């Protein structure tokens, strides 16, 4: 009368797959950056610099500096210089833009893809 207890192709269990690790993505593996490492601010009458290999193509900010010499000897993505006065600023190769805003009597030497002032 029927095939209630028969074993056919549908009754065989397929072997289980081994335990899989959760997927990991490239953005999960990135090191977290500390914004303070890519900022020079509130410097007065000092000489400050970053050596090659310390910036590594990140964005950089210089702000509120007076009568200082600032040297950045590394590749930079984008740099913003705000509210500085009487400063000498040397910027290494910049792939993006250099923004210079609200600065007075500054000397800026830079190699950049785009130079913007306000």
pLDDT in tens, the chain (118 residues): 556 666 655 555 566 666 777 777 777 777 777 888 899 999 999 999 999 999 988 999 999 999 999 999 999 999 999 999 999 999 999 999 999 999 999 999 999 999 999 8
The count of other CB atoms within 10 Å of the CB of residue 94 is: 21
Report CA Rg, the chain.
28
Please report the pLDDT score of residue 64 as a whole number.
Answer: 96
Please report the pLDDT score of residue 98 as a whole number.
Answer: 95
Residue 83: Cβ-neighbour burial (10 angstroms; 0-12, 13-18, 19+): middle
Residues in the chain: 118
- How many CA within 13 A on the CB side of residue 3? 6
Please report the pLDDT score of residue 26 as a whole number.
Answer: 75
Long-range contacts of 111-116 (CB under 8 A, 24+ apart): 112/79
Angle at Cα 37 formed by Cα 78 and Cα 98, nearest 5°?
15
Structure tokens at 41: 């601010």
Place of tokens 């303070």: 36
In sequence order, the β-bridge partners of residue 60 are 79
Please report the pLDDT score of residue 10 as a whole number.
Answer: 57
């Amino acid at each position: 009368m029927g095939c209630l207890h028969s074993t056919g192709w549908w009754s065989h269990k397929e072997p289980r797959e081994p335990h899989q690790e959760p997927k990991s993505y490239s953005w999960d593996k990135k090191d977290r950056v500390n914004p303070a490492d890519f900022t020079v601010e509130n410097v007065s009458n000092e000489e400050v610099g970053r050596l090659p290999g310390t910036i590594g193509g990140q964005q950089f900010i210089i702000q509120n500096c007076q009568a200082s010499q600032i040297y950045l000897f590394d590749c930079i993505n984008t740099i913003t210089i705000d509210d500085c006065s009487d400063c000498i600023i040397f910027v290494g190769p910049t792939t993006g833009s250099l923004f210079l805003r609200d600065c007075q009597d500054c000397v800026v030497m830079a190699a950049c893809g785009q130079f913007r002032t306000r």
